[in-house]
Amino acid sequence: MKKIANLAWVAGAAVFLMSACNSGPQNAHEQAVDPALEEPTPGDDNTHIDYKVADHFLVKHTVKEVPSNPKIETKEEFDRIFYCTEEDKKAHEIDFSKNYVIAVLAPDANLRTTVQPISLRDSEPNEVVFSYRWVSGSQQPDTTRSSIALVVDKKHDGTVILNEMK
């Protein structure tokens, strides 16, 4: 009976330890979101815009300045800023005939940060507002600039307004 009790205790401890190892965010795009800032469900109002995060792309080391316009409408513009492996590029191709990209780049390449999307909405006539916030981290040794690239359907066309929340 004592062996069964010991075995049950060891098994319970092992399950606890394994679940603790997998409980945190696995990459920058899996950061916990403050529930007060979460996206409303698409049916909540008619201003919500669906988007896809292009998370296989990194900012090129040659990009020194944050682009003044966050809206990228061509593959050539996108390729001047972002890169990825050829395999990822083929698997995650962006169709610029149907979509555009909203790119937000961290102003400081030496600080590990994450962009946390809050909302993407149609606004005033011909405006698209992307609300987000930066989640700051530690200093990083390399110069890979943190960023987020949202792929948006062109039916939601307009001037892109960035709304950084604090």
Task: Give the pLDDT of residue 96.
Answer: 96
Q: Is the pLDDT of residue 38 over 70?
A: no
Q: What letter does residue 28 receive in the DSSP assignment?
A: G
What per-residue confidence (pLDDT) applies to 70?
96
Tens-place pLDDT, residues 97-141: 999 999 999 877 677 788 899 999 998 888 999 999 988 776 766
Q: What is the DSSP letter of 48?
A: B
- Beta strand segments in 19-57, E: 52-53
For the residues 62-91, what does the mean pLDDT come to? 88
